[in-house]
Structure 1
Amino acid sequence: MRVYIGCGGYSNEDWAAPGLLYEGVRKDDYLATYAAHFDAVELNSPFYAIPGLKAFEGMARKSGGHTRFAVKLNKVFTHDRAPTDADFDRMLQSPEPLREAGLMGPYLAQFPYSFHRTAANRKYLLGLAERFAGHELAVEFRHTEWDKPEVREGMAEHGLLWVSPDYPPAGGLPEPQLHATGDVGYLRLHGRNAGSWWEGQSAAERHDYRYSRAELDEWAQKIALVAEDLSELYIFFENTTKGHALKNIPTLREALNAHGVPVATPDPAQRSGEDRLL
């Protein structure tokens, strides 16, 4: 099993604080700096506006060929749920530079808590699976109504990847278990800030949480149990506030290696040297 570990987004301005990843780094160099340390990133920007081909070409180039990109679907697919044919065309075609460079990971459909398990929503999800057929599409449900074996069985039949989330113990949310509906796994670690999950004024506030070694050790144990069943596993830390994710990723790497799941730590000096040769 090849494990890809990264963060939800790379353009986090609070990472420019003293002692963090982007201290003294120009914004234009954020992605190159990020890619020297991490082998995966979850792109948030397409949720708000789908980038064009040139933007994705720039991402592929700046990453130096080191980083897999999971691409979040635009909100028209998950929150408005009224995509046009043009939206599908742009969402499917724009990341082509990533595919050509061998850097494309799954698409991510992040549905809101208000997306209940109704007949209409099941039909919509089936239609989405059909339009994205031939591409890996990971689906995150935030309402516990979807957290059922029969849902995962249906997703497996239609080629959809189940997103295993780690949410705060705030009620109404899926359990923190690792499930897979194919040979590719997808894990999103949101932090466990229960006090701010529902009342928080921003995503940054909700994700203001740093995992302990014990909490990440629990996840390493769960991952080790499914290692032989998967070819790839994507792990994304969403707790990017104040650089918590930057601190947690090395800890999870250590925990995984300790449980017999080999995970390499990128060598920034080596990757920077490789970039100069490109």
Structure 2
Amino acid sequence: MGDILVGTCSWTDPALVRSGWYPKGRRDAEGRLRYYAERFPVVEVDSTYYALPGERNSRLWAERTPDTFTFDVKAFSLLTGHPTRPAALPGDLRAGGPADARDPDLLDEVWKRFAAGIEPLRQAGRLGSVLFQFPPWLRPGERAAEVLALTARRTQGWPVAVEFRHPDWWRAEQAEATRSLLAGHGMAAVGVDMNPALPSSLPPGAPVTSPRLSVVRFHGRSTAWGRGSKEDRFRYAYADDELAEWVPRLRTLAERTEEVHVLFNNCCADAAVRAAEAMARLLGPSLAPQVGRT
């Protein structure tokens, strides 16, 4: 039976900081991370999607958390084919216009710096996975297969998890081919929970493509997914009965993989940490993460 680690997709989200979840005296950068790591065993670093990670920060994250604490790191936007503003790049790599992933020299340098930025976590044995969240316009087909193959070559030796945003990837007629594609590259599939009524919704599945890891990300069930502000898209508070639907699925995943990461991305105020606490409680002491451990 594998371990189930429950956490959130950020510990630095401004809305969480403003919510009051962090107590007085624990609201500086070091205090927040230490406080979070006393309550959860895993976190996703989402800031690395918006800017390249730095080696110093990665080293500090490892130093400020228990040896058993796990970091999942989100891949930088340029590496997944998302539009990337020049301001997101280090100063010496900015060319004035939008960053172009078709520029091989730029792409090589960005991959190099991303790898260097997460290396302290790898060396410390604290890197759970690197999350590649591909854009909704990447649909199954020859081009997507090439993208996955290139990503696999670039990330050789890394623990990689893949979240697709186009719903065709997990439709019944495509699901087995998707599983085979990811398994062939040794990549863990990411299941999602979101509002199932939207045209762009992915089914609430929990596919297994790696014996080492499965990941499930809870985006909330807002009807504003895909439009509106971040607050509109992610504003959602899970009820216990909605979380309870996932408990048997997560237990099944734990029977098939060494580790399951359950990450809440409904990052509005303290909704994500409250949902993570509730999920840990519902899972019970035998499989739930050790909330409160030091």
Same fold (TM over 0.5): yes
Q: Separation in 1 of the partners of 2:66 and 2:190?
A: 27
Match 2:44 to one of 42, 45, 55:
42
2:55 paired residue number: 53
Count of matched residue positions in the alignment of Structure 1 and Structure 2: 265
Partner amino acid, structure 2, of 1:68: T
Counterparts in 2 of 1:18 and 1:96: CA distance versus 1, 3 Å: closer
Q: Separation in 2 of the partners of 1:130 and 1:158?
A: 9
1:16, CA displacement in angstroms? 3.5
Q: Separation in 2 of the partners of 1:232 and 1:255?
A: 18
- Normalising by structure 1, we get a TM-score of 0.89
Match 2:265 to one of 238, 242, 258:
238
- Normalising by structure 2, we get a TM-score of 0.84
The reply on whether 1:187 has 2:212 as its aligned counterpart is no
The reply on whether 1:159 has 2:186 as its aligned counterpart is yes
The reply on whether 1:266 has 2:291 as its aligned counterpart is yes
Does structure 2 conserve the Cα–Cα contact (< 8 Å) formed by 1:164 and 1:177?
yes
- After superposition, the C-alpha distances for 1:229-274 in whole angstroms (9 at most, x for unaligned) are 110011110012121111111211122128xx52243326xx2xxx
Partner amino acid, structure 1, of 2:63: R
Does structure 2 conserve the Cα–Cα contact (< 8 Å) formed by 1:15 and 1:22?
no
1:17, CA displacement in angstroms? 4.2
Counterparts in 2 of 1:18 and 1:232: CA distance versus 1, 3 Å: closer
Q: Secondary structure at the match of 1:193?
A: coil
Does structure 2 conserve the Cα–Cα contact (< 8 Å) formed by 1:14 and 1:241?
yes
Q: Separation in 2 of the partners of 1:10 and 1:241?
A: 12
Q: Separation in 1 of the partners of 2:187 and 2:218?
A: 20
Does structure 2 conserve the Cα–Cα contact (< 8 Å) formed by 1:9 and 1:44?
yes
Q: Which segments of 5 or more consecutive residues in structure 2 lack a partner in the other structure?
A: 84-100
- Counting only pairs closer than 5 Å after superposition, residues 115-130 of structure 1 correspond to structure 2 as 115-130=138-153
Partner amino acid, structure 2, of 1:37: R
Does structure 1 conserve the Cα–Cα contact (< 8 Å) formed by 2:41 and 2:290?
no
1:71 paired residue number: 73
Once the two structures are aligned, what percentage of the paired residues are identical?
Answer: 28
Does structure 1 conserve the Cα–Cα contact (< 8 Å) formed by 2:193 and 2:218?
yes
2:126 paired residue number: 103
1:173, CA displacement in angstroms? 2.3
2:6 paired residue number: 5
- After superposition, the C-alpha distances for 1:110-163 in whole angstroms (9 at most, x for unaligned) are 112122223222211211112112211111111111112111111101111111
Q: Which segments of 5 or more consecutive residues in structure 1 lack a partner in the other structure?
A: 272-278
Match 1:210 to one of 237, 242, 246:
237
Q: Separation in 1 of the partners of 2:130 and 2:40?
A: 19
Q: Separation in 1 of the partners of 2:193 and 2:24?
A: 29
Counterparts in 2 of 1:211 and 1:87: CA distance versus 1, 3 Å: same
Match 2:32 to one of 27, 30, 36:
30
Q: Separation in 1 of the partners of 2:74 and 2:121?
A: 14
CA RMSD of aligned residues (A): 1.9
Does structure 1 conserve the Cα–Cα contact (< 8 Å) formed by 2:214 and 2:253?
no
Counterparts in 2 of 1:227 and 1:66: CA distance versus 1, 3 Å: closer
Q: Separation in 2 of the partners of 1:20 and 1:36?
A: 13
Does structure 2 conserve the Cα–Cα contact (< 8 Å) formed by 1:200 and 1:206?
yes
Q: Secondary structure at the match of 1:70?
A: strand
Q: Which has the higher contact order (CA 8 A, sep 6+)?
A: 2
Q: Secondary structure at the match of 1:76?
A: helix
Match 2:256 to one of 220, 229, 240:
229
1:205, CA displacement in angstroms? 2.2
Of stretches 80-89 and 204-213 in structure 1, the one that deviates more from structure 2 is 80-89
Counterparts in 2 of 1:48 and 1:87: CA distance versus 1, 3 Å: same
Partner amino acid, structure 2, of 1:69: F
Does structure 2 conserve the Cα–Cα contact (< 8 Å) formed by 1:16 and 1:25?
no
Of stretches 180-189 and 111-120 in structure 1, the one that deviates more from structure 2 is 111-120
